[in-house]
Amino acid sequence: MLDAARAVGLPLASSCRGVGICDSCQVVVVDGAENLTAPTEQETHASLRGGERLACQAYIVGQVTVTTAYW
């Protein structure tokens, strides 16, 4: 998801270069959570709340809508 967001010009933070340890690429899944891959081990250790995912860890397999606190 991180690569897709950047490809369309959306500013999505990531200081760990997509390794999943900085938590700065957190997004809230508004719709289409079933169209993302299962949460990774990095995501299970992150401080995520319901509906949140790490964009660097979630791969898109269908239509999905997300938002962040800074968009």
> Residue 44 belongs to a domain with what CATH number?
3.10.20.30
Q: Give residue-wise pLDDT tens across range 19-70.
A: 999 999 999 999 999 999 999 999 999 989 989 999 999 999 999 999 987 7
Domain with 45, as residue range(s), is 2-67
List, in sequence order, every residue forming a beta bridge with 64; answer none if it has no partner: none
Task: Please tell me the pTM assigned to this model.
Answer: 0.90
CA distances from 14 to 1, 6, 20, 28, 33 (A): 12, 11, 9, 15, 21
pLDDT of residue 7: 92
| Domain count across the chain | 1
What type of residue sits at position 63? Answer: Q
